[in-house]
Structure 1
Amino acid sequence: MSNPTDSLLLKRQPSRWLGGLIIFMTMLGCMALYRSALPPVPAALCAVLLWAYCFWVWPRQVSLRHADSVTGLRFDSQGWHILRRDGTEMGAWLLADTYVSALLTVVRLRQPGRWLPISVILPADAATEDSLRRLRLRLRFSRQRWAAAE
């Protein structure tokens, strides 16, 4: 007999907390470069690289406007699935270094055929409260949490 709570669908939404944190950390890194003993040219190059990374991450993790950004996670009897903005859905394995807390959840997944894992950063405002609670419970207490989707 199947339990209706065996499936989980989390729809992700843009996060103000994550956006503020990324901008704050980028500015903090630039201030550290300014106060460091580096010559001005390498420090300016590092600052440009910091801001370039911030602008690369923003559409993928904060505003979710990039075609490859993860807009949802689904767990069912077949395992974990990644839902992307372009409408594709791919199966994935949950990695053991997934982090779960009340304010921040970082879901680490590996897709077949991809070299690098995918990190889905979920602060408290990134989805509805109920779906985040169900995801945290699934990640903490599930016996099949590292099951691969078929």
Structure 2
Amino acid sequence: MSSPSEFFESRWQGSRLLLTAYLSCQVLALFAVWVSALPWWLSLAATAASVAHACWAIPRRILLTHPHAVTGLRRDLLGWRVFTCAQGWQPVRLCRDSVALPGMVVLRFVREGRWLGEGQCVPWDALGADEHRRLRVRLKFSRRRWAEVGAIQG
């Protein structure tokens, strides 16, 4: 019986499927705001907030074109790390509410030195089928996946 390797790396790209779902929800939300009985100024503020969120979320979380977008996950002897073009590999602690489903992986993590968690959705069309399966399996069955950053030493 062989022991599993401590090294794992996965990189993904932006998702057109996630973009379609996000834009559909945005259109429905804007339609609901404009047909509601809200005053015009409140509808305008809600529309501006919705557009601002889209301008922030689409490059950072969906299409992954922003330099700070998380585009990779690595497991090595030092623990889990996420990759961004702007900062390279950064140590993280995976959160227990990460989810690995056949159609998508919702990766929840906290970067070293921060309090608030972050998330990244990796749908099936962001990776090849085999690579997506390997990511799901590694997240479900990895030893010490919830360990603190820096707590794992070779």
TM-score, length of structure 2 as denominator length: 0.88
Unaligned runs of 5+ in 2: none
Distance in 1 between residues matched to 2:113 and 2:105, nearest whole Å: 25
Matched, 1:110 2:110: yes
Counterpart of 2:100 in structure 1 is: 100
Residue in 2 aligned with 1:32? 32
The aligned amino acid for 1:137 is V
Distance 1:105 1:143, change over 3 A: same
CA RMSD of aligned residues (A): 1.7
Q: Secondary structure at the match of 1:120?
A: strand
Superposed CA offset, 1:75-113 (max 9, x none): 123221011122511111000111221112110010111
CA distance in 2, matches of 1:97, 1:118: 11
**Partners of 1:62 and 1:22 in 2: how far apart?**
9
Instruction: Tell me whether 1:147 sits opposite 2:143 in the alignment.
Output: no
The 3-state SS of whatever aligns with 1:125 is helix
Partner of 2:136: 136
Does the CA contact (< 8 Å) of 1:6 and 1:77 recur in 2?
Answer: yes
Partner Cα separation in structure 1 for residue 133 and residue 148 of structure 2: 22
Within 2, Cα distance between the matches of 1:135 and 1:110?
18
Aligned mates of 1:144, 1:138 — CA distance in 2:
11
Q: Which amino acid aligns with 2:12?
A: R
Q: Distance in 1 between matches of 2:132 and 2:78?
A: 20
Q: Tell me the residue number matched to 2:57.
A: 57
Question: For the Cα contact (< 8 Å) 1:64–1:85, is it kept in 2?
Answer: no
Q: Could you tell me how far 1:123 is from its partner in structure 2?
A: 0.7
Query: In percent, how many aligned pairs have the same letter?
Result: 34
Question: What is the deviation of 1:3?
Answer: 4.2
Alpha-carbon contact 2:68-2:87 (below 8 Å) kept: no
Letter in 1 for 2:106: V
Distance 1:90 1:6, change over 3 A: same
Q: Secondary structure at the match of 1:132?
A: helix
Calculate the TM-score normalised by the size of structure 1: 0.90
- Equivalent residues of 1:81, 1:149 under 8 A apart: no
Q: Is the 8 A contact 1:78 1:148 kept in 2?
A: no
Q: Distance in 1 between matches of 2:94 and 2:8?
A: 14
Query: Is the contact between residue 110 and residue 118 of structure 1 (CA under 8 Å) also seen in structure 2?
Result: yes
The answer to which of 4-13 and 119-128 deviates more is 4-13
Aligned partner of 1:71: which letter? T
